[in-house]
Amino acid sequence: MGRYRLLLLIISIGFAHFAASQEIAILKYNGGGDWYANPTALPNLIRFCNTNIGTQIQDNPRTVEVGDTGIFQYPFLHMTGHGNVLFSQEEAENLRAYLVSGGFLHIDDNFGMEPYLRKELVKVFPNLELEELGVDHPIFSQDYTFEKGLPKIHEHDGKRPQAFGVVHEGRLLLLFTYESDLGDGWEDPSVHNDPLEVRERALQMGANIISYVFKR
């Protein structure tokens, strides 16, 4: 069976799984960046969402690799890190097939990822670009309202937080959160010693992202 036919088969299986699944996975990538950063972030976000917005997401998210056909089992992937990102051509094709077939990828720059990521996303979507989302985008007004858009959780370069997206055929299928560091705000309180209100804003914005994907 050719690679293209195999992807079509996986996509059809994935659609059926998406319909009944509320699962999240961490995306493992090559290039040397720390894809494993913020280990307590997603479990805390999952608990917050299950408690506050009525989701039933399975605890303890799995880890999947970019080129693995197992990504089609998960309607939501999360990617983070500080450094280099590298996709092979096959990995880029696999990720593109996943996203256009109904999957969603949230990339949270933990600081330092952005220049490498932009280069690799060209492999995934050669004809599409990251577009900044306006404050009127529905992702900012799901279960919680963020009138000014993406919240600032941690300071790095003093730049304003920005939310970028890739839109394909009218659907937002990739969200890149930059200069916000949401994942740090999702971590256990002892990790960064953030004030309660900062952690709550981070978790609420994370819940909005989850809600946008699972409830649309």
Q: What pLDDT is recorded for position 198?
A: 94
> d(Cα 69, Cα 10) in Å, to the nearest integer?
7
> d(Cα 121, Cα 167) in Å, to the nearest integer?
13
Provide the residue type at 146 as one letter.
F
CATH code, residues 3-214: 3.40.50.12140
13 pLDDT band, cuts 50/70/90, is very low
Domain boundaries, the chain: 3-214
What are 42-58's pLDDT values in tens digits? 999 999 999 999 999 99
What are 54-86's pLDDT values in tens digits? 999 998 899 999 999 999 999 999 999 988 999
Whether 20 has a pLDDT exceeding 70, the answer reads no
> d(Cα 88, Cα 73) in Å, to the nearest integer?
21
> d(Cα 49, Cα 41) in Å, to the nearest integer?
12
Region 148-170 average pLDDT:
90
Region 18-47 average pLDDT:
89
**pTM for this predicted structure:** 0.90
Mean pLDDT for all residues in the chain: 90
> d(Cα 64, Cα 190) in Å, to the nearest integer?
27
3 pLDDT band, cuts 50/70/90, is low
Q: What pLDDT is recorded for position 16?
A: 45
> d(Cα 86, Cα 137) in Å, to the nearest integer?
30
What are 86-140's pLDDT values in tens digits? 999 999 999 999 999 999 999 999 888 999 999 999 999 999 999 999 999 999 9
